[in-house]
Structure 1
Amino acid sequence: MSFENKTVLITGGSRGIGKAIALRLAKEGANTVIVGKTVEPNPKLEGTIYTAAEEIAKAGPGKVLPLQGDIRFEESIQHIVKTTVDTFGGIDILINNASAINLSPTEHTEPKRWDLMHGINVRGTFFMSQAAIPHLKKAHNPHILNLSPPLNMDPAWFAKHLAYTMSKYGMSMIVLGLAEEMRPHRIGVNALWPRTTIATAAVKNLLGGDFLMQRSRTPDIVADAAFHILQRPSFECTGNFFIDEEILKEQGITDFTHYAVNPDQKLMMDLFI
């Protein structure tokens, strides 16, 4: 198995894309650490870190460790990384998936929404990466993968939702800079983004309800793309802004119908595409 005995640390791993990646890599033998804030059932959100861990444990031979954490805070980050290393002996892959979204225009963006997005998306991603780097340096074929979009300075993306765009591009700028900084250490740092909207809680609860869910793909397409990226040699594969569909096409996959929530509906392109 290509991920046997590897340890994968995933933020925002209790549902959606994060859980899908954990399930995919667990099938390949990886030990997975899923970080999330949800420990009690919430009627608006699917599952908890513990129910997700049960599902992941059934997916493959690898072990799974659910950790409650909030990556806005240094103490939480240090606890997450230390517990991961103490449990599994190191970190091979870091998936910076945790993210907050709010598409309000500038006049309607509340400071607490700004702080949440930048605290999780930019600050959390930066300091999670910082904390993991000493352990990634010791790993064989180490990778950092951020779920963030290609950098595009088209003003249209800033005009629509300035605060959110800045926060997601902040994650992408981390990829751009960290890939070059970590090149001497052979740590691959890349970004992955979906071509279409993905059927997640954010899409259902914040963006477009069932209408948009029916025009989305499942998180499995992003998980399959991540699987192929993370197998690549880290010293060769770094500084890229990958799109899920393009990665799969490189693998000879051309039929994406089975990823559609409703194959009868026209797919909605994702933001920044």
Structure 2
Amino acid sequence: MLKGQVAIITGASRGIGKAIAHKLAEKGAKLALVGSSEEIHKTGEELKKQGFVDVETFQVDVANEEQMNRMVSETIQKFGRIDLLVNNAGIGFFKPVEETTIDEWKRVFEVNVQGVFIGTKAVLPHMKKQKSGTIITISSDVGRYTIPNGAAYTATKYAVQGFSGSLAQEVREYGIRVGTINPGMVDTYFANSVQGAPEKQDWLKAEDIADAVVYMASAPKHMLIDEIVLHPLIQKYPIA
């Protein structure tokens, strides 16, 4: 189902984004990988060494419209089309509101919300022309309920949910599908934590989220999966 499709993945240097890149490559997709550091090129080289040759890498700030537009244009020049956008890039910090600086507030919105908007806006003309495409945003379970000391991060995820829901209604007439994947606790480097730490052994793995992306993107063309919510069995959470 995904063989030969062209996918853009943001935040693909490590963690969930890197797992998504590997999973989509295994399914035969051609990849444009986006990351904010030079580490993104290492991900690309790793995939090529494994025999996945249709991989391009871009060191890009997802909150920078000019850089993102250039990346999309170069992807079109290289592969001729865009079938899938995975908005995965995200940052987070967790502290009380009164300790949150305006710069921290602005940056988390720039990456988590503005980045989703810019990337989505950039691919839409191409998907509309094709009359097909899938846009998946990796959000969070805190886009469905709230937590203390996470006001900025939680607010971005509520914003992403609203954006995706509205967008889905706008673009369905063009055959474009829009959905979100909302994980609970995932064992990654998120918020400067250590991946593989002993206390995370029963958390979701990055590969679990990658499997959800494949499931959503592989759905029959007549089917729209609005959202997927997944948690580790050990996680306790409010019922939304």
TM-score when scaled to structure 1? 0.79
Q: Indicate the residue corresponding to 2:95 in structure 1.
A: 104
Distance 1:163 1:133, change over 3 A: same
2:138 paired residue among 136, 147, 154: 147
CA drift of 1:267 comes to 3.9
Partner Cα separation in structure 1 for residue 179 and residue 224 of structure 2: 8
Distance 1:25 1:270, change over 3 A: farther
Runs of 4 or more, structure 1, over 3 Å off, are: 58-62, 138-141, 206-209, 266-273
* Richer in strand (by share): 2
1:136 paired residue among 127, 138, 159: 127
Which residue identity lines up with residue 190 of structure 1 in the other structure? G
Partner Cα separation in structure 2 for residue 185 and residue 104 of structure 1: 42
Give CA-to-partner distance per residue, 1:78-118, whole Å, 9 cap, x none: 11111111111111000000001011110111111111110
Give CA-to-partner distance per residue, 1:225-270, whole Å, 9 cap, x none: 11111011344215x121247xxxxxxxxxxxxxx9xxxxx84458
Distance 1:118 1:140, change over 3 A: same
Partner Cα separation in structure 1 for residue 107 and residue 52 of structure 2: 36
Q: Indicate the residue corresponding to 2:159 in structure 1.
A: 170
Q: Indicate the residue corresponding to 2:170 in structure 1.
A: 181
Partner Cα separation in structure 1 for residue 201 and residue 20 of structure 2: 21
Contact 1:92 1:136 in 2 (8 A): yes
Partner Cα separation in structure 1 for residue 103 and residue 65 of structure 2: 19
Give CA-to-partner distance per residue, 1:17-57, whole Å, 9 cap, x none: 11111101101111011100111xxxxxxxx1121112222
Instruction: Specify the SS of the correspondent of 1:222.
Output: helix
Using the TM superposition, name which of 57-66 and 227-236 deviates more: 57-66
Q: How many residues align?
A: 239
Instruction: Specify the SS of the correspondent of 1:138.
Output: helix
Q: Indicate the residue corresponding to 1:94 in structure 2.
A: 85
Confirm whether residue 241 of structure 1 aligns to residue 216 of structure 2. Answer: no
Instruction: Specify the SS of the correspondent of 1:237.
Output: coil
Give CA-to-partner distance per residue, 1:97-142, whole Å, 9 cap, x none: 0001011110111111111110011111011101110111234641
Q: Indicate the residue corresponding to 1:226 in structure 2.
A: 213
Which residue identity lines up with residue 125 of structure 1 in the other structure? V
Partner Cα separation in structure 2 for residue 57 and residue 271 of structure 1: 43
Confirm whether residue 192 of structure 1 aligns to residue 184 of structure 2. Answer: no
Partner Cα separation in structure 1 for residue 50 and residue 24 of structure 2: 9
Quote the sequence identity (%). 31
Give CA-to-partner distance per residue, 1:142-172, whole Å, 9 cap, x none: 10000013643x5xx1544211111111111
Q: Indicate the residue corresponding to 2:150 in structure 1.
A: 161
Contact 1:149 1:172 in 2 (8 A): no
Contact 1:26 1:59 in 2 (8 A): no
> For the aligned residues, what is the CA RMSD?
2.5
Using the TM superposition, name which of 117-126 and 217-226 deviates more: 217-226
Q: Indicate the residue corresponding to 1:255 in structure 2.
A: none
Structure 1 segment 1-273 matched on structure 2, within 5 A: 2-39=1-38, 48-59=39-50, 61=52, 63-139=54-130, 141-149=132-140, 151-152=143-144, 154=145, 157=146, 159-195=148-184, 197-202=185-190, 205-206=192-193, 210-238=197-225, 240-244=226-230, 267-268=234-235
Q: Indicate the residue corresponding to 1:251 in structure 2.
A: none
Contact 1:199 1:217 in 2 (8 A): yes
Structure 2 residue ranges without an equivalent (≥5): none
TM-score when scaled to structure 2? 0.89
Contact 1:4 1:62 in 2 (8 A): no
